[in-house]
Structure 1
Amino acid sequence: MTDITYSIVEHDGGWAYKLGDVFSETFASHEAALNGAKRAAAEQQVAGETTGISYEDEKGRWRDELSPGDDRPTTHVVDKT
């Protein structure tokens, strides 16, 4: 199972949550960014429907896979401020 962690960080004159190298939108307050991260983490837990996906791999080949809707990651929110 995949494990993902959102971090609360200062960003672009305000606050944001970050996953890997990707920032969320900028929030005016630390509390708003923390709430946004908690909401995003909770949404990751919601099961969806099993569906087919198509994507292009790093070698330019198209791949088709079946994505199970119940394969959800474990999520965390880290606030080191």
Structure 2
Amino acid sequence: MVEVTYVIVEHDGGWAYKVGAVFSEPYPTRDRALAAARRAAAEQRTPGRTEVISYEDENGKWHEETAAGNDRPNTSIVDKT
């Protein structure tokens, strides 16, 4: 099972959550960033519909695959403050 971790960090003059190398928008307080991370993590776990998706990889090659709507990751939140 895939694990997605949301990390609360200071960013761009405020607070944000970070997943891998990607930052959310900045929030004025740590608590607001934490609340946003909780919402995003919950949405990430919510089952959806099974659909066919197309995407381009880093080499410019297109792929098509079926994404199962019930194949959701585990999520966690780390607040390093």
* Deviates further, 50-59 or 19-28: 50-59
Shift of 1:60: 2.5
Runs of 4+ in 1 over 3 A off after TM superposition: none
Q: How does 1:1-81 map to 2 (within 5 A)?
A: 1-81=1-81
TM-score, length basis structure 2: 0.94
Consecutive unaligned residues of structure 1, counting only runs of 5 or more, are none
Aligned residues: 81
For residue 26 of structure 1, give the secondary structure of its aligned residue in structure 2. Answer: coil
TM-score, length basis structure 1: 0.94
Letter in 1 for 2:61: R
Shift of 1:69: 0.2
For residue 48 of structure 1, give the secondary structure of its aligned residue in structure 2. Answer: coil
RMSD, aligned CA = 0.9
Consecutive unaligned residues of structure 2, counting only runs of 5 or more, are none
Structure 2 Cα separation of the partners of residues 40 and 27 of structure 1:
14
Identity %: 59
